[in-house]
Amino acid sequence: MSTSRPAPIVGDLSLTTEDGATLSARTDVGLAEAWVRHTLGRQWDQLTYGEQTRQVSEALAELRRAHSQSAS
């Protein structure tokens, strides 16, 4: 069984959060993690590794959805 994964998004990536902060990274995974860390603040450190991974995965999916919509 083959699962198709979206290609990573690389380059100079950035997003502006609702509170006006601009986050930047070189990969979509890095940007997703920066976004979650910014959103959660100190709560990030209280999460287990599994919870951190889930949060980043959800943010990554949202970034990739937004990217695919803007590319079409």
Q: What is the pLDDT of residue 40?
A: 97
Q: Which of the four pLDDT bands, split at 50, 70 and 90, describes residue 3?
A: low
What does pTM read for this prediction? Answer: 0.84
**Domain segments of the chain as ranges:** 22-71
* Cβ neighbours, 10 Å, residue 59: 20
DSSP-assigned letters across all residues of 34-57: HHHHHHHGGGGGGS-HHHHHHHHH
Residue type, 41: G
Q: Which of the four pLDDT bands, split at 50, 70 and 90, describes residue 71?
A: confident
pLDDT averaged over every residue in the chain: 90
Q: Over the stretch 23-54, which tens digit does the pLDDT of each residue have?
A: 999 999 999 999 999 999 999 999 999 999 99
* Whole-angstrom distance, CA of residue 64 vs CA of residue 49: 22
69: which 2 tokens?
Answer: 């919509």
